[in-house]
């Protein structure tokens, strides 16, 4: 069943009960889907749309040693090259105070969630997806990073995402960005003294961390098409670009 001509889909392979969590928005940022499943479930859903932009919360390539080469040119000692096994985009984000995982130079040494991401990218390519931006292409993919997205949109490091306050903060960011998601402020309207005494909280009004990350990716996909001048990318062609839903980043967070 087709919900809309063009879908903006965010896919998160890093957490949750299933290997993948995915979210989809339409042109007006209405929520089309928010679910989880195996790789085949995700690809079946994506295949429903004649046009789609898919943002994935996982590295698209291993590192090509660009950070190491840059440090070696600075004639640093071997000791100072420790921690150089990461991509340029990751080094840039870390330099700004945004904590991100490092992607090794060999696929087999990557974490399992990173390898899941590689599998997803390969399947998207087989389905005809082109890397964003690609003029004239109806099917596009791009890489993003949810923690970096939320940091950039907030202008500061967000609260820990497993916590209630961290989830509320992220949902407020998405709601304020125009996504037609549940209003997180409704959570507080449902809380009464009696409910607090009993420990009954309206947790169904707050999305779990992996869904919030998938929604952030879907929003980044939407921004990359609808407001490309208000997005940016970090990295290099050899290692893959990380797209963020802001025009610029602060020097330090």
Bridge partners (DSSP) of residue 240 are 236
Name the CA radius of gyration of the chain, rounded: 19
What would you measure as the largest C-alpha separation in the chain, in angstroms? 65
From residue 232, how far is each of 148, 164, 196, 238, 249 by CA, in Å? Answer: 12, 30, 43, 17, 9
DSSP state of 131: E
Q: Is 3.30.420 the CATH number for 6-61+105-243?
A: yes
pLDDT at 75: 61
Predicted structure pTM score: 0.92
From residue 149, how far is each of 93, 146, 196 by CA, in Å? Answer: 11, 5, 33
CA quadruple 222, 228, 233, 237: dihedral sign? positive
CA quadruple 165, 167, 173, 175: dihedral sign? negative
For the chain (253 residues), the mean pLDDT of every run of 10, in chain order, is 77 82 96 95 95 97 90 63 83 96 94 94 97 92 98 97 95 97 84 82 87 98 97 96 97 97
Residue spans per domain, the chain: 6-61+105-243
Going by C-alpha positions, the residue among 26, 21, 35 that lies closest to residue 2 is 26
Buried b (16+ CB within 10 A) or exposed e, 104-135: beeeeebeebbbbbbebbeebeeeebebbeee
**178 in Cβ contact with 171 (< 8 Å):** no
**Cα(85)–Cα(183) distance, integer angstroms:** 41
Collect all residues with Cβ–Cβ distance below 8 Å to 189 and sequence separation of at least 6.
none
**32 in Cβ contact with 25 (< 8 Å):** yes
Backbone dihedral angles phi then psi of residue 30, each to the nearest 5 degrees: -70, 145
């Amino acid at each position: 069943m087709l919900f809309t001509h063009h879908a903006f889909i965010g896919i998160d392979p890093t957490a949750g009960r299933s290997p993948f969590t995915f979210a989809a928005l339409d042109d007006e940022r209405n929520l089309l889907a928010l679910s989880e499943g195996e790789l085949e479930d995700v690809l079946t859903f994506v295949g429903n749309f004649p046009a789609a932009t898919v943002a994935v919360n996982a590295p698209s390539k291993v590192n090509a040693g660009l950070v190491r080469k840059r440090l070696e040119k600075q004639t640093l000692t071997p000791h100072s090259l420790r921690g150089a096994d990461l991509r340029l985009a990751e080094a840039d984000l870390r330099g700004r105070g945004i904590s991100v995982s490092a992607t090794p130079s060999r696929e087999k040494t990557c974490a399992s969630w990173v390898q899941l991401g590689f599998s997803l990218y390969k399947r998207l390519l087989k389905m005809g997806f082109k890397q964003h931006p690609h003029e004239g292409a109806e099917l596009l993919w791009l890489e993003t990073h949810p923690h970096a997205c939320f940091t950039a949109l907030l202008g500061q490091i967000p609260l820990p995402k497993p916590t209630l306050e961290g989830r509320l903060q992220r949902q407020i960011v998405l709601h304020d960005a125009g996504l037609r998601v549940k209003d997180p402020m409704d959570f507080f309207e449902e809380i009464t003294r009696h409910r607090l005494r009993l420990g009954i909280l309206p947790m169904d009004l707050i999305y779990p961390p992996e869904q919030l990350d998938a929604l952030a990716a879907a929003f980044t996909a939407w921004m990359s098409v609808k407001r490309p001048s208000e997005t940016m990318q970090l990295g290099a062609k050899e290692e893959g670009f990380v797209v963020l839903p802001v025009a610029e980043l602060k020097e330090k967070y």
